[in-house]
Chain A
Amino acid sequence: MSAPRGKFRDSVGSAGSSKYHWSVVVGIPLAAILFQVYVPRFVTDVAYLELPLLATVYFALTFRSPVAGLLYGASVGLAQDSLARPQHPLGMYGIVKTLVGYFTAFVSQRFDVRNSSIRAILAFFFYFFHDFFYWVLSRALLGEAVDFDPIRTLVRAMLNGAVSAPLFLLLDKLKTTE
């Protein structure tokens, strides 16, 4: 069953039962990046939120296709890279989110990821993976002497995991049922 033009199939539910409009698939990560650019200026406490990552995890989980997941992750990562400071080379977030998109979709093929708590755990895990791998790339490829604080990253991963549960439920509401 192929999705009609302008629709992206959600593979989590029963096959072909619900879809996303293209504007949701494109608009949500853009809104997430804009949130990351704009909101921490006024509410510094939300700077820990990595909404582009949560959007990548959510859509990679729903696509359940590693190729779609990695392409989606790469696009979101490159968009995020392009809004970083000019010394930050393009591709750092791109590579990390490519891996996140791929592995998230890979996991979704093997487990039932409709459960909110499982999705929150995956968001927690992939946040930690994302930060750790970004740190590895920063040191290995750019030679930057950046610190990695595992405790702080774990706390932030837990917070992002906690935020992901209601966020993913909200995003579920954006599905258009046939």
Chain B
Amino acid sequence: MDFFLNRFRNLTALLAAILAQLALLAYQIKSGQDVRLIRVWAVTAVTPLARFIEGGRGGLAHFLKNYVLLLNVREENQRLKADLDRTEMENQYLRAQLSTADRAVALAIFQKTSQSKTLAARVIGNTTDPNGKAVIVDRGAADGIQKGMAVIKPEGIVGKIIGVFPHASDVLLVTDPSFAAGVVSQKNRVHGTLKGQGQSTVIVDYIQNEEAVQPGEWFLTSGDDLIFPRGILVGQATVVRNGKSRKEVYLAPSGMQSGLEDVLIVLDGVHGTITETPLPNQPMHLLAPPDSDAGERFSPAAESGSAAASTVVTDLDRSVEHYRAIGAAQNHRYGDKNSPAPDYNVTPENPARPVPPPPVPRP
């Protein structure tokens, strides 16, 4: 044994290192748990340095921007003095103010106008994963951040929190292939599931070919995913075409268009004007389900004026109701072997049996 270890010392060390890491991988995959301690150490070690670098970069950018701005103001003042036009001077001043408006100010305005309770955060780094699209922000568990919280910008959704550390968090971006969120089109209220593709565009899946979506149409969050409050901008449809089984709708995510520096983390999301508290005892931060829109979804209870009009129904419920109505119209009793099978081509809305097209003669 000693001879073997001495003779193949390098190879033995290599095998030991590989096996140890394979065991680590197997533990994570089998248990579905992360080795959180190592990640916490690594992120905690990197966060202060990244924060320091980002602070330095931000300060330098701020200084340069202000310096350039002062030069502009001086030039403008000279021109305005020459023109002696007070109105134009006011306009120039306002334009200068607008051009120097900080993103933080825009975020603050959005924060004030938004009904959801949000927390501003700064992106301090990317993750090292080549296949994933995720960033690190400078807010963590100490700031009340929880896994599953939505991350947005005034322009649209950005992603969701997937990892929380003491003073930093990982944000999975909408462009990541594993990202998904419920969306609805603004004009025709077509529901779908937003999915990242690892590219700059995202796709809206599960839209039937028969449903109407036009290029240029805006999509908003539907709130169905219990992560994003309903009504936040998602993006504009750039490509809409019929696929084999479902419509292919590509969006340009509006939250990713102007770069990622400052974002808002939704601490307490509000669907529209209704304030709901998060569900208790959830390991993931989940919003309360949104109220159903009148006329947006089919609901038999709503049609009958029942008090349970707000019950959420699925496509399966809709199909069951449809076939139950056909059976009832033809006095069919489901589960009764003696009851003849109903004619599913005859519906209560269309009692006449549709005439099939004449057969095409074979050549």
Q: Which residues of A contact B (CB under 8 A)?
A: 33-34, 36-38, 40-42, 52, 66-67, 70-71, 74, 78-95, 98-99, 102, 106, 134, 138, 141-142, 144, 146
Contacts and interface: CB of A to CB of B under 8 A. Distances in A.
Contacts, number: 124
A85 B125 contact: no
Nearest to B38: A82
A92 B25 contact: yes
Contact of B41 (A42, A74, A82, A85): A82
A87 to B, nearest CB: 7
Nearest to B49: A34
Interface stretch (B14-22, B90-98, B289-297): B14-22
Contacts of B35: 90
Nearest to B35: A90
B29 A141 contact: yes
B66 interface: no
B196 interface: no
Q: Which 7 A-B pairs have the closest CB atoms?
A: A82-B42, A84-B129, A86-B163, A66-B10, A37-B125, A91-B21, A91-B25
Given A66-B10, A90-B35, A85 B127 contact: yes
B39 A82 contact: yes
A95 B16 CA distance: 11
A38 B21 contact: no
Given A41-B123, A89-B25, A83 B38 contact: no
A107 B163 CA distance: 40
B120 interface: no
Interface of B: 9-10, 13-14, 17-18, 21-22, 24-25, 28-29, 34-35, 38-39, 41-43, 46, 49-50, 53-54, 57, 123-132, 134-136, 162-163, 170, 172, 176, 178, 260
11 contacts: A37-B50, A42-B57, A66-B14, A71-B17, A84-B129, A85-B132, A88-B129, A89-B34, A92-B25, A138-B131, A142-B29
Contact of A38 (B13, B126, B170): B126
A84 B29 contact: no
Given A74-B21, A85-B170, A67 B128 contact: no
B22 A95 contact: yes
Contacts of A40: 126
Nearest to B21: A91
Given A70-B14, A86-B163, A90-B35, A37 B131 contact: no
B53 to A, nearest CB: 6
Nearest to A98: B17
Given A37-B128, A71-B17, A82-B39, 12 more contacts: A34-B53, A66-B14, A81-B128, A82-B38, A85-B132, A85-B162, A88-B129, A91-B22, A91-B25, A92-B25, A102-B10, A102-B14
A37 B127 contact: yes
Contacts of A85: 127, 129, 132, 134, 162-163, 170, 172, 176
A153 B178 CA distance: 23
Nearest to B133: A85
